[in-house]
Structure 1
Amino acid sequence: MITVVLGLVGALVFGAADFLGGLSSKRISAVLTTAVSAVAGLVILGICALVVPGEWSTAAAVWGALSGVTGALAVFLLYACLAIGPMSILSPLTAVVSAVVPVTWGFIGGERLGPLAAAAIGLALVSVVLVGFVPEKGAVRPSAKGLIMAVASGALIGTFFILLDQTPDDSGLLPLVLNRGVNAAIMFTAFGIIVLVVRRGRARRAEPRPSVDARPAIRNGLALALACGALDGAANAVILVGLRAGDLSVMSVLIAMYPAGTILLAAVVLRERIAPLQWVGLALALAAAGILAVA
């Protein structure tokens, strides 16, 4: 029961973080959004790590750092594939793959679920597809490049869950602190390289610098990125606790329901319409969670 609750909470918080990250990326670059959010998450997790007891060890440091590398690559590929589009297909594909990889790993590692729990996981995967898929008139087919990026991103997100699951139970939040530190270092390095390349290109073409009028949007984007990072850090903490309390397979599938949180927030804040098919997906997600809780 505790795993189901933590999984659903983690999915909702992750969905909220993605919603803020999407808003931030519209105002500043996706790379900068990811880098700033990583720093915000690092600060939040660092403060929490001072309160939550944790034993420092080589295993905690190694698995935490590896999950940071994997997380940085996963986010980069996610933004890249969504930029190519169509989002209505690539987003749920990423979520489904991110659940399938840990489930497969769990089975290989000896995790066994009863028929009822297995059926609930299958139902949850279907709900992920329905929640994320919005039929659009004249929607284009995804390119091979977009599909490859989406699958790779989902696989890396799933690998991120697996790496977190390897961390020692007595390490507290220390692996996540390493995760965010490595993630921030990678993304700020990438952002610095991009800025350097762009500035050199402008200098060669003698282009003017961006207008001062863009500063309010930049400040707003940075604020959203900070909020995104705080929520993302909190979601990671919930996920880590859930992985240590229950099965990797169950937790990863529940977290894959995160598009539901994003969609609900978009409906409330941005007044975006929720399609009937998405309501069906949300209902199936709740049904799957209830079955898992009973199973």
Structure 2
Amino acid sequence: MFSVILGLTGALVYGAADFFGGIAAKRISALKVTAIGAASGLVLLLLLLPVTGGTWSVEAVTLGALSGISGALAISLLYACLAIGPMSILSPLTAVISAMVPLTAGVLRGDRLPPLGYLALGLALIAVVLVGFVPDRKAVRPSAKALAMAVGAGSLIGVFLIVIDLTPSDSGVVPLIANRTVNATLMFTTIGVLAALASRRARRSDAAVRADAAGSTTASTSASSGPASSPASTPGRLARWSPGLRLAVVGGTLDATANVLILLGLRAGDLSIMAVLTAMYPAGTIILAAVLLKERITPTQGIGLVLALTAAAMLALI
């Protein structure tokens, strides 16, 4: 029962992290949100290390690093497919795939449940679809590219759970620290490379404009005034990014907290059960959206939430 509580709580916290991360992505780019979230989560885990303890080993660090790579790729694909849409189909599809991959791995590794347990897992998977489904009459069918990205994102999230489950039981949060270090490094490196490429393109474009306008008084005036305006614009950019940065930090801290809860749940229970419970993360998002943004929970989502709680209660009984 303890593992079920950890799994369900972790899923709700994951959903809350997605909620704040999604709002932050509307203010700054999703890539920056992911990078900042990874860094803030790393800070939290480092603060927890003296409290939770953990043995550093090659296995713990290696598996943690591998989970960081799969997590970074999963998030990138998830944001990309949701940007293409429709979210009402791709979001629950990703969640179901993220549950099915480790669920299958757990069964192949020998996880066995009583009939009530399998019934609960079936109800939970149905709940995932209903909670994540937002009816939209104008929604178009997803493209093959978007479907492939959703399947890829869900599979990689499942791989993350499988790899974390393989970490040594005495490693504490060490694998998660390795995970966040790799994740943050990959994200900030990507941001740096993209910024360098954008800067190079801008310099080439500026050089071409200057060449075309050589000898022009207007061009000369523009060239002399351009650099002077850059410093003045920097505080403005920082002011615009500030709310997004704060939300990204909150989202990253919540995501790291959810990772800790899921890790503890995996060590206390079965991978199969934890995988399905974790896939209920959309519930946390829609509950926060209803409370803070006053968004209406649809009847379909309401049924999904009831089924999710029913499935969790059934799993707690086995």
Q: 2:273 aligns with which of 247, 250, 265?
A: 250
Counterpart AA for 2:45 = L
Which deviations, in whole Å up to 9, do the C-alpha atoms of 1:17-60 show, x marking residues without a partner?
A: 00010011111111111001000000000110121121111111
Counterpart AA for 2:243 = N
Q: Distance in 1 between matches of 2:122 and 2:240?
A: 42
- Specify the alignment match of 2:242 in structure 1: 219
Counterpart AA for 1:137 = R
Counterpart AA for 2:293 = L
Please state whether the residue corresponding to 1:88 is helix, strand or coil. helix
| Aligned-pair identity (%) | 58
Residues 1:176 and 2:176 are matched in the alignment: yes
Q: How does 1:263-278 map to 2 (within 5 A)?
A: 263-278=286-301
Q: Distance in 2 between matches of 1:288 and 1:124?
A: 5
Displacement of 1:214 after TM fit? Answer: 4.3
Residues 1:286 and 2:309 are matched in the alignment: yes
Q: Distance in 1 between matches of 2:55 and 2:238?
A: 43
Q: Distance in 2 between matches of 1:279 and 1:147?
A: 26
- Specify the alignment match of 2:36 in structure 1: 36
Q: Distance in 2 between matches of 1:132 and 1:85?
A: 13
Please state whether the residue corresponding to 1:169 is helix, strand or coil. coil
Q: Distance in 2 between matches of 1:42 and 1:215?
A: 23
Q: Distance in 1 between matches of 2:237 and 2:173?
A: 38
Rg bigger for which structure?
2
Please state whether the residue corresponding to 2:170 is helix, strand or coil. helix
- Specify the alignment match of 1:112 in structure 2: 112
Which deviations, in whole Å up to 9, do the C-alpha atoms of 1:61-96 show, x marking residues without a partner?
A: 111110011111010101011111111110110000
Q: Distance in 2 between matches of 1:200 and 1:87?
A: 35
Counterpart AA for 2:198 = V
Q: Distance in 1 between matches of 2:233 and 2:153?
A: 35
Residues 1:166 and 2:171 are matched in the alignment: no
Please state whether the residue corresponding to 2:155 is helix, strand or coil. helix
Higher deviation after alignment, 42-51 or 194-203:
194-203
Q: List runs of 5+ in structure 2 lacking aligned partners.
A: 210-225
Higher deviation after alignment, 209-218 or 230-239:
209-218
Residues 1:239 and 2:265 are matched in the alignment: no
Q: Distance in 2 between matches of 1:251 and 1:211?
A: 48
Counterpart AA for 2:285 = T
The count of corresponding residues between Structure 1 and Structure 2 is: 295
Q: List runs of 5+ in structure 1 lacking aligned partners.
A: none
* 1:3 to 1:217, Cα distance in 2 relative to 1, 3 A: same
Q: Distance in 1 between matches of 2:96 and 2:67?
A: 19
Which deviations, in whole Å up to 9, do the C-alpha atoms of 1:185-217 show, x marking residues without a partner?
A: 000001111111222223333498796644333
Counterpart AA for 1:288 = A
Q: How does 1:125-164 map to 2 (within 5 A)?
A: 125-164=125-164
Which deviations, in whole Å up to 9, do the C-alpha atoms of 1:95-136 show, x marking residues without a partner?
A: 000000000000111111111000100100000000011111
Question: Over the residues paired in the alignment, what is the CA RMSD in angstroms?
Answer: 1.4
Counterpart AA for 2:60 = A
Residues 1:261 and 2:299 are matched in the alignment: no
Counterpart AA for 1:152 = G
Q: Distance in 1 between matches of 2:134 and 2:11?
A: 20
Q: Distance in 2 between matches of 1:36 and 1:72?
A: 13
Q: Distance in 2 between matches of 1:182 and 1:214?
A: 28
Q: 2:252 aligns with which of 205, 229, 241?
A: 229
Q: Distance in 2 between matches of 1:245 and 1:150?
A: 30
Displacement of 1:271 after TM fit? Answer: 1.2
Q: Distance in 2 between matches of 1:267 and 1:126?
A: 21
Q: Distance in 2 between matches of 1:78 and 1:258?
A: 14
